[in-house]
Homo-oligomer: A and B are copies of this chain.
Amino acid sequence: MQITPVLLCGGSGTRLWPLSRKSYPKQFAPLTGGATLFQASARRLAGPGFAPPLVVTGAEFRFIVTEQLAAAGVDPGAILIEPEGRNTAPAVLAAAVHAAAADPEAILLVAPSDHVIPDAAAFRAAVQAGLPAVAAGRLVTFGIAPDRPETGYGWLELAAAPDGTGAPVPLTRFVEKPDAARAAAMLAAGTYLWNAGIFLFRAADILAAFRAHAPGLIAPVTAAVEGAKADLGFLRLAAGPWGQAEAISIDYAVMERAGNLSVVPYAGAWSDLGGWDAVWREAGPDAAGVVAAGHATAIDCADTLLRSEAEGLELVGLGLSGIVAVAMPDAVLVAAKDRAQDVKLAVAALKARGARQAEVFPRDHRPWGWFESLAVGPRFQVKRIVVHPGAALSLQSHHHRSEHWIVVQGTARVTVDGEVRLVTENQSVYIPLGAVHRMENPGKVEMVLIEVQTGSYLGEDDIIRYEDVYARG
């Protein structure tokens, strides 16, 4: 029987600000290599033995999910859209209800999509090792062999030390994030592992556990799944009942109360990348403890992470110790490394000031591609717009601005007041104020154009949509 991965793909995007933002949380960013964490998670749980994954995500991320899955060569089984984030318990329950409708015996592997697990083969072997326990009706969780007295994670207390074969061990109990002394004691004891928040079970078994330990979630989540609407390949959960479901984590709602948990020990490398300190650790600091990524230069630094996230942006650290510095074109964070867990304070401070950088990523991803603002003046704005092959923007008009488009790569098919024409590299077109217009990429390569807007009001909300293949309002 194949295992169905359930990829949880929400996230608030505050802990790795400014690279991660509410509009573009960290699983979608290429944090540690070429692929994003989300893509790596999907690939890790693909191939022989795995069914197409079930993705649970928010409406604002749905096009990023499909775009990144396509680029990773992974075909999703279903993409469930949460009308709003309600923490992990309702998300897992929705996936279980959806899967059980087709097959109550379906085996689900629930995993966050923003963790780092470099050795995919070893992890798949650990998943296989859990199957006998699943067949026996157990809820299986995965415990990471600790290599330090980490106070930032929850721990799992095992009934016995792992025997080295990777075989599941019954769980005694969950341990909340400990203090340093307790963490050191658990590390020494040998019967404690880190809680990775990854689970393996049959759909019927987790539904039974929900009925036993979180019965209040059953009705609203089941109604949300049964009332879901198919929409361009997505399954939009019904907002009414979904909003009635308690926002609670799967650990609190079910796992810490269930008596039938087993732990598969996992000895390979793992990180939740839960802060810039974790990113520093995973990036492999040099002998002085320095990580310099992108266009970053460290001079006489120690115990420091320097990251420049943009082409053409040079970051230099001089004489630093215990510092994290992350530079983007619109925002720079400089923090004491031991305050990495407080980056949310930076986000909150900017949000209070009304700064868009608190939550909005400079590249705005849309179903047809993405755009970014290059310059904003008193009555003008310049944007770079990238349109995927075959994609089309909505047929639209604006009340307050006119636009000049100059194609600098590829070919655009442009409609202005009913007249259609092709515009290729080094050609331009003018969209007068009020004209009904559309931009499409009829080609096989990405189309890039520079848009110069002029007018008295240049907000994204000055848009009247007449037709939209992506069914937006």
Contact = CB atoms under 8 A, between A and B. Distances in A.
Given A315-B332, A317-B334, 18 more contacts: A297-B346, A312-B330, A314-B350, A315-B334, A316-B333, A318-B335, A318-B345, A319-B342, A320-B335, A327-B327, A329-B329, A379-B409, A380-B448, A402-B426, A406-B452, A406-B454, A428-B430, A428-B452
Contacts of A321: 336
A357 interface: yes
Nearest to A382: B450
A349 interface: yes
A330 B318 contact: no
Given A299-B349, A334-B315, A374-B374, A409 B426 contact: no
Contacts of A251: none
B316 A349 contact: yes
Interface in A328-371: 329-336, 338-339, 342-343, 345-346, 349-350, 353, 355, 357
Contacts of A18: 314
A314 B357 contact: yes
A439 interface: no
Task: Give the 7 A-B CB pairs with smallest separation, nearest first.
Answer: A319-B339, A319-B336, A380-B408, A318-B335, A316-B346, A374-B374, A426-B454
Interface in A171-218: none
A454 B425 contact: yes
Interface in A260-307: 295, 297, 299-300, 306
Interface of A: 18, 295, 297, 299-300, 306, 308, 311-321, 323, 325, 327, 329-336, 338-339, 342-343, 345-346, 349-350, 353, 355, 357, 374-380, 382, 384, 402, 404, 406, 408-409, 425-426, 428, 430, 448, 450, 452, 454
Report the copy number of this chain in the oligomer. 2
Given A327-B327, A450-B380, A334 B357 contact: no
A40 B65 CA distance: 55
A356 to B, nearest CB: 9
Contact of A428 (B311, B342, B384, B404): B404
Nearest to A357: B314
A287 to B, nearest CB: 19
Contacts of A349: 297, 299, 316
A349 B314 CA distance: 11
Contact of A342 (B318, B331, B377): B318
A451 to B, nearest CB: 10
A340 to B, nearest CB: 9
Contacts of A316: 331-335, 346, 349-350
Given A314-B332, A318-B346, A409-B377, A300 B404 contact: no
A364 to B, nearest CB: 15
Nearest to A348: B299
Contacts of A375: 374, 384, 450
Contacts of A450: 375, 380, 382, 450, 452
Given A318-B335, A332-B314, A379 B404 contact: no
Given A314-B350, A332-B308, A404 B402 contact: no
A308 B329 CA distance: 12
Contacts of A299: 342, 345-346, 349
Given A346-B316, A349-B299, A408 B335 contact: no
14 contacts: A297-B353, A316-B346, A317-B335, A318-B335, A320-B336, A325-B332, A329-B329, A375-B450, A379-B408, A404-B406, A404-B426, A404-B428, A408-B454, A428-B428
A164 to B, nearest CB: 42
B318 A338 contact: no
Nearest to A454: B426
Contact of A334 (B318, B342, B377, B428): B318
Contacts of A425: 379, 454
Nearest to A327: B332
A315 B349 CA distance: 11
Nearest to A324: B318
Among A306, A376, A382, A450, find the residue whose CB has the most chain B CB atoms closer than 10 A. A450
Contacts of A345: 299-300, 318
A319 B277 CA distance: 14
A416 to B, nearest CB: 15
A448 B297 contact: no
Contacts of A330: 312-314
